[in-house]
Amino acid sequence: MSIYSSVATALMELASHPRTAALLGMLAIATLLDWRADRIPNVLTWGGMVMGFAFSMPDAASVPNPNPLSSIGGMLLAAAGVLPLYGFRVLAATDVKLMAAVGAFVGHDEILAVLMFVLTIAGLVSLVIVLSQRSLPLVLSNVVLVARATALSLFSRRHRSETRELPSGRLPYAFCIFAGTSLFLAGAQMGLW
């Protein structure tokens, strides 16, 4: 059995559980909306947080779920994990809320690992975008400018960075959240971690 069929089988098994089916469905819809309209409605992100929290309530008939405190902790850790990216305008506020919704579903125990997968996918997608646009020198120049401005702001009142704008090429962050979360859940289902 190939790795692709193993992952597909694990995702199909996950889709048979209401909690993970709701999470993956919400992320698929968010990805589609982000790709097509470049926006994710608040009803989806806030609704995802409420749904994740609702699935954390004790229920004897369900598979093991995070408890309500773990769900809240997952939301807070997820938002805190991507908030610096929002501060640097790498992602939008709806992406932060979408990540918080993922945290509500997976709880505080697993969210840091999910974040690692999401950020790794985002890095790889960013690299593909930068290489396909041949804008690596501009990106590296901007990294140096932002690092210099950050260092200067620590020692002075200067807070602005003079970065140059990249050519078009927006990072589809909802896709990265969907792919990273799916890969983590599939790996966990297959017993890899």
Other CB atoms within 10 A of residue 16 CB: 8
User: What does the pLDDT profile of the chain (193 residues) look like in tens digits?
Assistant: 688 888 888 888 888 889 999 999 999 999 999 999 889 999 999 999 999 999 988 763 455 556 899 999 999 999 999 998 888 778 899 999 999 999 999 999 999 999 999 999 999 998 888 888 887 888 787 777 777 777 777 776 655 555 555 554 567 899 999 999 999 999 988 888 8
Name the one residue in this structure whose structure tokens are 């806030």: 46
Query: Is the pTM above the cut of 0.85?
Result: no
E strand map for the chain: none
Nearest to residue 100, comparing CAs of 123, 77, 121? 77
Residue 140 is inside which H or E element, if any? helix 136-155
Tell me what pLDDT residue 172 has.
Answer: 83
Give how many domains the chain has, as a whole number: 1
CB-based contact 21:185 (threshold 8 Å): no
Host domain of residue 63: 3-189
Residues contacting residue 54 through CB under 8 Å, at least 6 positions apart: none
